[in-house]
Each structure stands twice: as C-alpha cells, then as structure tokens.
Copies of this chain bind each other. A is one copy, B any other.
Amino acid sequence: MDEKDCPNSEHSTELEHLCSKAAGRPRSESARQAILVAADYLLARDGYGGVTMEAIAVTAGVSKATLYRWWPNKSAVLMEAFVAANGTCCAGPDTGDVGADMLRRMRGMTAAFAGAMGVTISGMIAEALADQEAAAVFRAQYLAPRRAEAVDALTRARKRGQIRAGADLEVAVDALYGAVYFRLLTGHGPLIPEFADALVETLLSGLREK
C-alpha cells in the first residue's frame, strides 16, 4: 500500500531522518511467515472452505488479532499464502520449437491441475469470484506472470516465423489456458496428457479445412 522502504538510503546522509523509520515495535516477520506457512498447509489439507481463521492462528502459534491486524479477512490471508507458495513461475527453456515448448507447458499444467494443486487452485478461484480484492491479488500475483510468459514464448516464435503474423497471441493463450481451467472448474472432461496434446494441436493447426 504505502511506500515504506527507503531506496538509496545509503547515499543520503542528511535526509536520513525524513525516512521515518516506522516508530514502535516492528512487525514480526516470523509471525508473518508462520501464518503463511500454516495457511498454506491447512489450505492443502482441508480445502478452502475447511480452513478457519482460528485454525490458522492456532497452527501458526499466533493470536487471532494478529491475523486481523494484517489481513482484512480469511480470503486475503489464504490468497497471500497461495501466491507466496505458488507465485514463482518457472519459464522453462525455449527450444526453438514452439510446438514442443507449448506442449511441455500444457502437459505440466494439466498434470499439476489433475493433482492436489487442482483443488487448491479451484478454491482460490472460487474465492476470487466472491471477493474483488482477492481476485486482484490472484490475477496480479499468480495469473499474470504465467500468461505473460506464454505470450512471450509465442511472440518469440512469431519472430522466428513459426507462427503466422496476424495471430492474436493474447487470445490464443486464453484459449489454451482457458480450456484447461474450464475442465478443472467444471470437471466435464479429464485432465490427461492426451488432452494437452489435442489442445496444442488444435490451436496450432486450426479447424478450417484448407
């Protein structure tokens, strides 16, 4: 929210007092970490609906007041815990073969979503659907990096001439990722490697008869 860090403070000597070093006892970083770890653990164990603020507090060895001091409600805690645990986005190498790279990407995604990760992320999306604030965090911290990474890969492939010039890559990524999320959320079809294969093939080749 507000800017608290002090950039380049090593260079400023006479202005140091302006950087009002936040009087009072500083926030306990260990408590923060314990809370996020506990929330992530409970999220995986009990599912979104099963997690309780009380349980997070007890598991983290923290008072409920501390939870509410730093997060406005349950969804905020869980969302931050989720992105803290799953925020990093492993890009993977660019082999030069856009089809193979994309296939690897989608296979990894379907495999992850088919496992424990699937129920967790379902819960997070369900929460994002009901809480604007949580949705923003989820988008910015989790979704955006992954989409950007995929769009980048396609853009590089287009520069290499592997993808036709006019293609809307943003939309293409929506179609690829959307299909997987669609199956995850609605469960109408299995999240198996063959699905990933067919999806990539469909997007690359298109439906129209030449």
Contacts and interface: CB of A to CB of B under 8 A. Distances in A.
A98 to B, nearest CB: 8
Nearest to A188: B139
Interface string A167-210: 11011101111111111011111000001001101111111111
Contacts of A21: none
A204 B167 CA distance: 11
A59 interface: no
A206 B209 contact: no
Q: How large is the interface on A (under 10, 10 to 19, 20 to 34, 35 or more residues)?
A: 35 or more
Contact of A135 (B48, B130, B186): B186
A123 interface: yes
Interface in A130-185: 130, 135, 138-139, 143-144, 147, 154, 161-165, 167-168, 170-172, 174-183, 185
A188 B177 CA distance: 12
Contacts of A198: 168, 171
A93 to B, nearest CB: 20
A174 B189 contact: yes
A123 B125 CA distance: 11
A130 B49 contact: yes
A195 B170 CA distance: 10
A129 B185 contact: yes
A6 interface: no
B174 A182 contact: yes
Which 3 pairs, one residue from A and one from B, show the smallest C-beta to C-beta distance? A206-B206, A178-B182, A178-B178
